[in-house]
Amino acid sequence: MKELRIKYDFSHGPIWKDKYDVEKGIWSTGIDIIDNDKVLMDLNEKAENEYSMLYHFDKDGVLNFDTQAFISKQDALLSLIQSIVLRVESLNDGSFVVVDEESKRLSGNKEQL
Give pLDDT tens digits for 63-100. 999 999 999 999 999 999 999 999 999 999 999 999 99
Pick the closest to residue 98 from 109, 106, 107, 90 (CA basis): 90
What predicted TM-score, i.e. pTM, was given to this entire model?
0.88
Is a pLDDT exceeding 50 seen at residue 112? no
Is a pLDDT exceeding 80 seen at residue 31? yes
Q: Give helix 38-52 / helix 67-91 axis angle, nearest 10°.
A: 170
Q: Compute the distance between CA of residue 31 and CA of residue 8 in angstroms, rounded to an integer.
A: 19
